[in-house]
Amino acid sequence: PAQSVVSIAPSPAQSAVSIAPSPAQSVISFSPSLAHSPLSIPPPLQNHPKYFFDDELVIFKVEGTLFRVHKHFLNKESEAFQSMFFHPPDAAGPDGRSADRPIVLPDVKVLEFEALLDVFYESTYCDKETGVGIPSTWVPGGNTSELEDYERSQLREKLEALLSVANRFNFEKVKSLAVKALPLVALDPVDTILLARQHEVASWLEPAYLKLCRRSTPLNPMEARQLGLEVTTLIAQARERYRESDEYVEIKRVSKVNGVPFETTAKESEKALSIVARNAIGSAFFPGGYRLQDIALNLLSLN
């Protein structure tokens, strides 16, 4: 009987080995290794081409004031700032990381840099009539046509500051905004010419010179000093040629016969008088020849 038990029933240890493999053997024999599973290798991460911002803060010194702002907007919108940030740091470390080593912006005013940053950081107000967008805090009450005189003066000051800094540092989109927005404050023709010369806005020049040519009053002494002797003389010549033209003389005659103001009759011939005035400006300023479509750029070259 003892021999029969031994030969027929193996010991528990033997049975476990021969019938049920160990947990280790089971994993090795039947389960693929996790190291070889495609699900175990995460795909490489990549930066989003549009919304992965460089939010590094940079410190600037403008006049006697420190600004600590994001690098992203300045780097994105201006080649001048791109070049500024590209320069490798010296042994003491990069400028702009600490208040002890700010990036100095010479010849930039606090008002100018504030105006630039307002465009990037503040919500935008859109003028109802022109669709021009400017920082909302610049338009108290939300309507440029309802601004008080002092508010309009402040808006003009900020827009001129914005135009200045945008032009110097090649912020093309910001400059375009300022060029579109400044007419909202009703610049007079002489101021328009002076700003256009200073900040290279060719599109402003021809309309401003045409207004001076066609208005009823000549340049006053203050305007003449601002524009300079040469330009004042040329405007006087253009005004004379405009008033001697056949179109102008005929409208003057009709107005007198009908007993109505010249301006009333002139509105009916606005297109013709505009062409006459453009030719008067062209012939006075460019006696060697000109094309009407090139007058604006030619006027800018006089600066």
Tell me: the pLDDT tens digits for 18-37?
Answer: 444 555 444 444 455 555 55
| Cα(153)–Cα(159) distance, integer angstroms | 10
| Cα(76)–Cα(97) distance, integer angstroms | 19
Q: What angle do CA 208, 209, 210 make, to 5 degrees?
A: 90
pLDDT value at residue 7: 44
Checking if the pLDDT of 99 tops 80, the result is yes
Provide φ and ψ at 142, rounded to 5°. 80, 15
| Total residue length of the chain | 303
Concatenating the DSSP letter of every residue in 55-108 gives --EEEEEETTEEEEEEHHHHHHH-HHHHHHHHSPPBTTB-TTSSTTSPEE-TT-
In the structure, what pLDDT confidence band is assigned to residue 13 with cuts at 50, 70 and 90?
very low
Provide the percentage of residues in the chain whose pLDDT is more than 90: 55
Mean pLDDT for all residues in the chain:
83
Which helix (DSSP H) or strand (DSSP E) does residue 189 occupy? helix 189-199
> Considering only 20-29, 183-192, 228-237, which range has the smallest mean pLDDT?
20-29
pLDDT value at residue 207: 92
pLDDT value at residue 78: 95
Number of neighbours of residue 261 by Cβ within 10 angstroms: 10
Which helix (DSSP H) or strand (DSSP E) does residue 133 occupy? strand 133-135
pLDDT value at residue 6: 42
Report strand pairing: 124-126 vs 133-135.
antiparallel
Concatenating the DSSP letter of every residue in 221-289 gives HHHHHHH-HHHHHHHHHHHHHHHHSHHHHHHHHHHHHHT--HHHHHHTTHHHHHHHHHHHHHHHH-TT-
Tell me: the pLDDT tens digits for 131-141?
Answer: 778 898 898 87
Number of neighbours of residue 50 by Cβ within 10 angstroms: 6
Are 125 and 133 in contact by the 8 Å Cβ rule? The answer is yes
As a whole number of angstroms, the longest Cα–Cα distance in the chain is 150
Provide the percentage of residues in the chain whose pLDDT is more than 70: 79
The angle that helices 172-181 and 149-168 make with each other, rounded to 10 degrees, is 150
Residue from 200, 177, 199 nearest 120 by CA: 177
pLDDT value at residue 5: 43
R_g of the chain computed on alpha carbons: 38
pLDDT value at residue 171: 95
Quick one: CA torsion of 82, 88, 90, 96, rounded to 10 degrees? 30
Report strand pairing: 103-104 vs 57-62.
parallel
> Considering only 35-44, 79-88, 190-199, 246-255, which range has the smallest mean pLDDT?
35-44
Structural tokens at position 186: 């009703």
Tell me: the pLDDT tens digits for 254-302?
Answer: 999 999 998 888 888 899 999 999 999 999 988 877 766 666 666 776 6
Are 96 and 102 in contact by the 8 Å Cβ rule? The answer is yes
Checking if the pLDDT of 51 tops 90, the result is no
Checking if the pLDDT of 213 tops 90, the result is yes
For the segment 46-63, the average pLDDT, to the nearest whole number, is: 88
